[in-house]
Amino acid sequence: MIYRSAEDWRSATSRRVVLFGMSGLGKTYLASMLRGTGDWFHYSVDYRIGTRYMGEYIADNFKREAMKVPFLRELLMSDSVYIASNITFDNLAPLSTYLGKPGSPSRGGLPFDDYCRRQDQHRRAEIAALLDTRDFMERAHDIYALPHFVCDSGGSICEVVDPADPDDPVLAALERDLLLVWIKGSDAHTAELVRRFDRAPKPMYYQPQFLERAWIAYRVEKGLEPDQVNPDDFIRWTYARALAHRQPRYEAMARRGVTVLAEEVAQVRSPEDFTDLIAQAIARKEA
C-alpha cells in the first residue's frame, strides 16, 4: 500500500484513495463531501464513462428514438435542434437508460444480443475510465493545485478486473498511485439494497459469464422464450445473485488495500472524520 502505516496516512501531504463497493453504501457521499471542502479532487468513474467513452452512444440512442417522431425527425434532419445527455455526478440516468434491460421489446426490453453489445461497450469504457485515474490526478495537481484526490468508482469495478491476478493491469495501476478502500456492507445493508432495487429496478453492468448463466437459468426456471421475458422481473431476479457474486471479488480486491464498514462511513461528517476512518482501517490491517 502507498501508506505503510496509519501515521504515514495522517502525515501525508497528498492523500489519494479509490473507493469501491456496492452502489448505495456511501462512495459518492464521501467523495462529494470531500470535494466540498475545496481540498479534494473528486474523480467519478461513472461520470467519465457516460461523458467521455459512452457519450456518443447515449446521444445516438436519443436521436434514434427522436427520429421515430416525424416532428422531431424534420428538426434533426435540418440541424434545428440539438440532442445531448445531461449526465451529472448525481444523475447517471442517461447511462443507465442506454444500458437498458434484456427481454420483451413490447415491455421496453432489448434483444439479448443488443443488450450484451451495450454491456461490452460499458466494460471497455469502465476499464478505460479507471486507467484514466492517473491522468486526472496529475490534472488535479497541475491545474487546480488540489493536494488530495478521491476516485469514486462504480459498483461494477470488481467485474472488469481479475482480483486474483496480482498483475491485473487496472488494479496494478490503481494501487500504484492510490489506497484501495472497500466500503463493506452488512447482511442488513444487502437486504435493504435488494428491497430498494425491487421498488425501482435499474440497469446495471454484469460480468459476461455471470450474465449468460443468469439469462439461461432464469428462462429455464420460468419456462420463457427470450422475447417473453419481462425485463424488470429478470433484473430483479438477477440483482441479489449479482450482489452475492460480487462480494468475494470485492473482498479479494480489499486484500490490496483496506476495509471500512458502511456503518462507519455513515458516521463520517468531515474530512477529519474521514482521515480518522482510514487511519483506523490501516491500523486494523497492521494489527
> What's the CA gap between 161 and 22, in Å, rounded?
15
The torsion angle over the Cα atoms of residues 87, 92, 95 and 99, rounded to 10 degrees, is: -170
- Would you say residue 214 has pLDDT above 90? yes
What pLDDT was estimated at residue 200? 85
> What's the CA gap between 226 and 94, in Å, rounded?
25
What pLDDT was estimated at residue 23? 87
Q: What are phi and psi of 206, to 5 degrees?
A: -125, 150
What pLDDT was estimated at residue 99? 95
For residues 130 and 170, the answer to whether their CB atoms sit within 8 Å is yes
DSSP-based three-state secondary structure for 29? helix
Q: Could you tell me the three cell numbers for 113?
A: 444480443
Q: For the chain, which residues make up each domain, given as ranges?
A: 7-55+99-286
DSSP-based three-state secondary structure for 44? strand
> What's the CA gap between 193 and 239, in Å, rounded?
9
For residues 50 and 85, the answer to whether their CB atoms sit within 8 Å is yes
Give the residue-averaged pLDDT of 155-182.
96
Please report, as a single letter, which amino acid is at residue 128: A
> What's the CA gap between 48 and 201, in Å, rounded?
23
Query: Starting at the edge strand that comes first in sequence, how are the strands of the sheet with 179-184 ordered?
Result: 40-44, 148-152, 16-20, 179-184, 258-261
Instruction: Read off the pLDDT of residues 78-124 as tens digits, 9 standing for 90 and up.
Output: 999 888 888 888 888 899 999 999 999 999 999 999 999 999 999 99
> What's the CA gap between 211 and 54, in Å, rounded?
21
What pLDDT was estimated at residue 28? 92
Cβ-based neighbour number of residue 162 at 10 Å: 15
Contacts of 12 (CB under 8 A, 6+ apart): 3
What pLDDT was estimated at residue 91? 85
> What's the CA gap between 234 and 115, in Å, rounded?
13
Kind of pairing between the strands at 16-20 and 148-152: parallel
> What's the CA gap between 125 and 128, in Å, rounded?
5
7-55+99-286 has CATH 3.40.50.300 classification: yes
Instruction: Read off the pLDDT of residues 39-67 as tens digits, 9 standing for 90 and up.
Output: 999 999 999 999 999 999 999 999 999 99
- Would you say residue 232 has pLDDT above 90? yes
> What's the CA gap between 284 and 142, in Å, rounded?
34
For residues 183 and 26, the answer to whether their CB atoms sit within 8 Å is yes
Residue in this structure with the C-alpha cell 447482511, named with its chain if needed: 187
Residue 221 CA to chain centroid, in angstroms? 29
> What's the CA gap between 135 and 242, in Å, rounded?
31
